Structure 1
Amino acid sequence: MRLVYVTIAAVAAFATQYFLQHTDGFQEAVKWIGPAPAPIAGVASVIDGDTIEIRGQRIRFSGIDAPEASQQCDDAKGFRYQCGAKSAAALDTFLAASRPVRCTFVAWDRYGRFVADCSRADGKSVASWLVENGQALDWPRYSQGGYAGQQAKAKAAKVGLWAGEFDAPWDWRAEQADHARPAVSQPLGIISRQVVQSYSCQPRRTCSKISSCDEAQWYLSNCPWGGRLDRDGDGRACETLC
């Protein structure tokens, strides 16, 4: 009987470890287990546009996603800029105007961060401000569209990220992961039967990285991310090239 218990415990431990390593839904799972931690309040240090640290605890804002620290975007004139760094700087300025920050627990994520809804001392929601000012995006996967209204305002006003072109942070991370994967070599003596295309959907591109109207239109018609090249929805991608 003891052997049975040990076996069950081992299987449960393995399943838990696999879940932590392979499931993005870890936030939703753990928030139902055990009592919620007490809110955290204090002067925050900014890690990036959606993550802060208070007294040694990393805190991730719930329901939004900001550009990564090394991510670049295109401004209104098509020039590249460090949008991740700009988002972090905007957050730092916003938090400094009314301290301390208070964060209410939502979940633990798979990186051990305290996922929370945070507000300044004056009661203003940090996540709402970031999205409404175009420094972060509503992340429907976790927000259920909770910040869609603020995002619509930012997009209409063309503020922050919406002034130019950008990859959604979750798409940008996926692209970086694709680049990090080693290429699969073709076995010697075997000729690939794959049809060679002039263009490829990998990696994702912005208008500043595209050299011709034909290329832009190909991406628009053939790639799942191509729609972002047609900002006004008129069926023409990267109109400055066409």
Structure 2
Amino acid sequence: MASHTDLVARIGEAGAVPADRPIDRARRIVTAGTLGAFLGTILALFWLLGYLSPARMVLAAVPSVIMLVAFVVVWRFLDDDARGTPIPVIARTLATAESPYSRYIKKGANKGLLVPVVVRPVEGEPFRSVILLRETGGVQVEEPEVGTLMALRQVERGMGELANIDQVTPEQEALRERLARHPRQLSNRAPALPMRRGSLERVPASAAAEWWGALGAGLAVVLAYIWVIY
């Protein structure tokens, strides 16, 4: 168990909720199926190189194009209705015994610094969470001053995920001013909320089964289709 002063680790103990909503499953299955379709197309074209006419090579790409359209639809055009309306909040940075070095994510697309915060929604109960201050332009993020107030939004009610807000609401501004004048109105000991896993995470086992099953199905269907047109 993490120390009481290791807030990032301690808040992380609240756990992660599986990405098992319909939108998560659709995105996971379609993404894996698209990957399988592209892989099947590449393998088949390489295998049959010199045996397919230009017209049949175009036909061979049809399943991949269909899957690509489905991929764009589920990621760009399907609303994440299960999350509901984002909730405006004010987050205040907390002190932690963990060094900035140990909290810095240096690999992957989301590089940046993990910072513990306590959060007061405009409507709702306070909670603790962790935010990621992302690098911009490859510049390393500096540790914010403890007690910094930030206007953010709670992505999903009951979950700890926070994100930037497009426009600060008047209620948020009033709440920020009130907390700046009276910081004790927001206790640092609020309960931590869990995070929802990403749609493409292959945890738990059911998510992994959906991912690999869809990838294998996409691969097999495309190979069978190209064999038929060949």
Q: Which has the higher contact order (CA 8 A, sep 6+)?
A: 2
Q: Scaled by the length of structure 2, what TM-score is found?
A: 0.24
Larger Rg: 2
> What TM-score do you get using the length of structure 1 for normalisation?
0.23
